[in-house]
Every structure is written in structure tokens, then in C-alpha cells.
A and B are shown apart, each in its own frame.
Chain A
Amino acid sequence: MIWKKLFAWLDERLSLTELYKATLDRPEPKGNWWNTLGSASLFLFLLQGATGIFLSVYYTPSPDHAYDSIQYIMNNVAFGWLIRGIHHWGATLMVLVVFIHMLRVFVTASYKYPRELTWLIGVGLLLCTLGMGFTGYLLPWDQKAYWATTVATSIAGSVPWVGPFIMRALRGGTDLSALTLSRFFAAHIWMLPAVLAGLIGTHIYLIIKHGESEFPGKDD
């Protein structure tokens, strides 16, 4: 009884019921599992955010300590292996799910009027997700991470005219160094997640505004 009163008090001031109806209780076309991939991507983003925050409790983004701090997380911290394992495999899964989500939207032609902007923002989301994978891959600072980033930044450096500048901007200098590690870390935990969060908010607003598209029928 007290909870009902408390909820009524909050609801009157926050419009929780209206919010619920607009976001979670909106009308849908006939259910289809392929339509759940966007929500799955959102869930993975939140999971990556949570496990990433936990990893930052022990991880140290410096060449002296990055590798050792991860070894410590894996071998000495209770459930460190689990938190890092979820972050590691969640990253791969997120790229996969986001990509299949994009394919579904393409195949069902859901990107057409009035949802072109939703698609364009989705492209931004895909690029940010790949950027998260790219920057996160360097952070363990092992041989695989070091050389993968060396190769990938060299590829960026092969762009005509501005290539060498892009490469120096990515690496924070001519070579991979402590500067590369700390700027990749900053991009991985602050810049890209901030952009992702903003784009996700807009993406979801547009989906709620336009509703989900019907699957094309035989006549389409």
C-alpha cells in the first residue's frame, strides 16, 4: 500500500507510466527475432560499459604496467578472469551483432523514408564500435597488440598526401609509444563511449518516433 502511494507520488511528478508506454509498451509490427538485434547491441554496449569500468579499477595505461596489471587481473584478482573474459568476448560479439543488425536493416529495406537518418546514425554507431575494437586491442600491450596497432596505423599512413599526418596523429608521434597507449586508452574509455552514448540516444529516439518498419510483403 505504501509502495503504491510512493509510486503514485513519483509517477505524478516524473510521468513514469507515460514514459513506459512511449518506450517499452509501444505498438510493434508482428514480432520477429531479427528485430531484436538492436536491443541486443544496446545490451552488449551496457555490458561492455559495466565490465570496462570494473577493468579500469586495476588496469594501468602505461607501457611499464599495462601488461603486468592485466596479468594481475587475470591471475590474482577474484573473478578478474570473468570480468575480462566478458569484456573480451563481449567485444567480438558486439561487432558481430551490430553487423548482423545492419544486414537485417538493409535486407528488409528499413533504411528507406522516413528512416534515412536512423540508418546514417547507425553507420556512425558501426564506425564507433569498430573504433572501440581498434583502440581496445592495443590496451593489453602484448606482442599481438603492439604489432596489430603498428600495422593498422601504417595502413592509415598509406592514404595519399595526408597519410603520414594521420599516422602521427593516431600514434601521437612517429612511433608507437607511451603516448599511443595513453591516447588509445583515452579514446577507448572516454571519447568513443561518449560519442556512442549520444548516437545511441538519437538512434533510439528516432526508432521510438517512427516506430519499427513492417517486414516487406510479397507485393513489395
Chain B
Amino acid sequence: MAGSHNISRRDFIKITTAAVGTFIGAAVGLPAIAYLIDPALKSGSTDAWIPLGKLDSFVVGTPTPASFTRSTVNGWEKTVNSYGVFVLRTSETDTLVLSNKCTHLGCHVNWNTDKQEYICPCHDAQFGLEGQVLGGPPPRPMDRYSGDQVKVTDGTLLIHFMGG
């Protein structure tokens, strides 16, 4: 029918119906696809700088416990998780922050002043002052924040939390 001015009534209806149908289909169908895959397109990035307190409040050479909470929002549901760490000022200028989560099965370890080691209450794992494995079942040293992952701003100690 291209180029012809004698388009029949039947063909006109056919073409118009197809065009309108395609338009409505696209107007509803394309947004519907975006609607379905939307959660997959959102970035799950959860990293943030977490303040742990004034640097002066931590004694040099002694592990000091600190804690913080992080909330995650999934859809309309908010989950709050708390995390614990030990802050160890190895010198006036350097700070090492250790996660209190045992690398064996995730129980919370405690600092034992007498033995000068971290002890896990679940399976008796032992970690040294800087998190190295001294004994028991842990597969690797304690998770740590050091170097770039630790900074001090206006006297406040911050760690770069990556999520999890």
C-alpha cells in the first residue's frame, strides 16, 4: 500500500488497531519490565566510615572494646545489626582495630588481661594481641582494620566498614 492514496477502510482499521495496540503494549509492557527487575538494578553498597570514639579515650597498648550498629533496608524491611571491635593503639600514631568475631564460627571473643590473649568462649580459640592465631580451631587471624581502613578526623577515630 506504500505510496498509494487509495488505502481501503479495512486496511486503515487494521493498521490503526495494530499501531494503537503496539503503543499500549509498549506503554504498559516496558515499564512493567523495569518494575520487575528494579531491585536487581539497585546497588547493594554498604560501605561507610564509622566513628568509634575519641582517639584520646583509647589507652595505648591495651585492647579496648567498642561497638556500633548498622541498619540495612531491604524493600520496606529494616534490619539493625550490631558489631563489636577491639581498638588497639599500637603507638601514639598507629591504631589497629580488630573485629571481635571469631574466624572459626563467629562467636564473640573476649580480651583476657591475665593471659594477654583473646579467647573465644565457644571452642577455646586463642588469638594474640594483634589478632594472630595462637591455638584452637580458627582458620585465619582475626579480621582487622588497619592502614587505609583507619583514620582520625578532628580527634575522632573512624574505621572504613565494608559491610557484612
Contacts and interface: CB of A to CB of B under 8 A. Distances in A.
A77 B38 contact: yes
Interface residues of B, number: 12
Interface string A61-78: 000010011011000111
Nearest to B36: A57
B31 A83 contact: yes
A79 B31 CA distance: 6
B32 interface: yes
Interface in B130-161: none
Contact of B76 (A50, A57, A69, A78): A69
A72 B75 contact: yes
Nearest to B42: A76
A77 B34 CA distance: 9
Given A79-B32, A83-B31, A72 B76 contact: yes
Given A50-B28, A86-B28, A79 B35 contact: yes
A89 to B, nearest CB: 13
Interface residues of B: mostly helix, strand, loop or mixed? helix
A54 B32 contact: yes
A105 interface: no
A27 B164 CA distance: 67
Contacts of A58: 75
B76 A77 contact: no
Contacts of A47: 28
Contact of B34 (A65, A72, A76, A78): A78
Most chain A CB within 10 A, of B38, B41, B76, B77, is at B76
A136 interface: no
Nearest to B29: A50
Interface string B23-34: 000001001101
A77 B28 contact: no
B35 A54 contact: yes
Given A47-B28, A50-B28, A86-B28, A79 B76 contact: no
Nearest to A82: B31
B75 A80 contact: no
Contacts of B77: 65
A71 B41 CA distance: 19
B155 to A, nearest CB: 38
Interface of B: 28, 31-32, 34-36, 38-39, 41, 75-77
Interface of A: 47, 50-51, 54, 57-58, 60, 65, 68-69, 71-72, 76-80, 82-83, 86
Query: Which 10 A-B pairs give the minimum distances between C-beta atoms?
Result: A79-B31, A68-B76, A78-B34, A78-B38, A72-B76, A79-B35, A77-B38, A82-B31, A69-B76, A79-B34
19 contacts: A47-B28, A50-B28, A50-B32, A54-B32, A68-B76, A69-B76, A76-B75, A77-B39, A78-B31, A78-B35, A78-B38, A78-B41, A79-B31, A79-B32, A79-B34, A79-B35, A82-B31, A83-B35, A86-B28
